[in-house]
Amino acid sequence: MANSKYEYVKAFEQPDLLLPNTWIVVRIDGRGFHKFSSKYAFEKPNDRRALDLMNAAAKAVMSELPDIVIAYGISDEYSFVFHKSCMLFERRESKLVTTIVSTFTAHFVLLWNLYFPELPLSPPLPSFDGRAVLYPSVQNLRDYMSWRQVDCHINNLYNTTFWALIQMGGLDAKEAEKELAGSAAADKHETLFSRFKINYNNEPDMYKKGSVVFRDYELVEPGSVSEVVDEDFAKTIEQLELSKSQEEKDRKRRAKAIITIQHVDIIKDEFWERRPWLLS
Ligand code: ATP
Ligand code: ATP
Ligand code: MG
Ligand code: MG
Ligand code: MG
Ligand code: MG
Ligand code: MG
């Protein structure tokens, strides 16, 4: 387009390139979902339909954005991890965050009827906020994922006990809160078991561990040692030349891979060791 006298305004835009070679986590969170969940009478503490809908929207986001390596969801939030080598939108933060947020929201709304057929959506419609956080090392990234999963565990144990006291114990919210104030995890397990015959360990994994979404390839057998190949110089050069087409192949492979949703421990090493493609 030809220059116009107005074009100088473009220079007011701030650059927002994210630091290269760092893991990008985009976390989105439902706006006012406490209220939203009562409007649509979510079952407490966990409405399975709502979680399934969150997971379906996250899966759709992952299939539209092959650069996402893994995603983790609990309650009304989802974290999407872009590989540290990702160059999507030249790593412009606002492009990455707003694309994730709007793609997720669009699918959440589109799929709503499938999960809540008897409760049509009406304004105010569901919306999500989003932010990007950078993690320089795999350890930092894994600690981030662990932090979210620990949060899931702590919240779910609390909420399960809280709602048992109300729904089965006849307490009101204030009384239940008071009863749980200062209680340790073991106390909550004990309350659930002795008063309501609930063994917390038998609660669904989706509630206890959250949802992990990733591309599935072949699992590496536990205990198998990955081979270290000693490459000579010629081979290294050859590989440098191949790496571009390899990158393209990897992209296509990612785009075709099956996306799976699992409710598993991502704090322990095993999950990552058995799926070395995730963080390599
Ligand atoms: P904000 O806009 O600040 O995020 P919020 O009301 O969404 O406010 P959150 O801390 O994000 O607050 O908490 C989300 C709330 O949504 C939970 O506390 C819970 O009440 C409700 N919620 C979300 N998902 C579910 C679900 N699957 N089943 C039952 N309740 C849910
Ligand atoms: P990017 O993802 O970088 O924004 P883009 O393809 O969306 O890429 P834009 O610069 O945003 O590129 O341009 C939007 C394009 O969408 C227009 O050039 C035009 O081709 C098309 N488009 C948008 N709205 C209309 C419309 N109402 N009628 C016809 N074409 C439209
Ligand atoms: Mg919030
Ligand atoms: Mg929220
Ligand atoms: Mg939340
Ligand atoms: Mg456009
Ligand atoms: Mg445009």
Tell how far the Cα of 103 is from the centroid of ligand 1, in angstroms. 20
Question: How confident is the model at residue 241, as a pLDDT?
Answer: 66
Residues with CB under 6 A from ligand 1: 29-34, 37, 42, 44, 46-47, 50-51, 75-76
Mean pLDDT (whole number) for 191-203: 98
Cβ–Cβ contacts within 10 Å for residue 4, how many? 8
Enumerate residues with CB within 5 Å of ligand 4 (an ion): 29-30, 33, 76
Whole-number pLDDT of residue 248: 79
Topology (CATH level 3) of domain 18-142+212-226+253-273: Alpha-Beta Plaits (3.30.70)
Report how far ligand 2's centroid is from the alpha carbon of 235 (Å): 45
Q: Can you give the residue ranges of every domain in the chain?
A: 18-142+212-226+253-273
**How large is the ipTM?**
0.92
Closest residue CA from atom 5 of ligand 1: 32
Average pLDDT, integer, range 65-70? 96
| Residue 13 DSSP class | S
Query: CA 67, CA 85: separation in Å to the nearest integer?
Result: 9
Higher pLDDT, 224 or 247: 247
Question: What pLDDT score was predicted for residue 228?
Answer: 47
For residue 99, CA distances in Å to 12, 46, 67 come to 22, 28, 13
| Mean pLDDT value across residues 66-76 | 97
Give the tens place of pLDDT for each residue, 7-57. Answer: 999 999 999 999 999 999 999 999 999 999 999 999 999 999 999 999 999
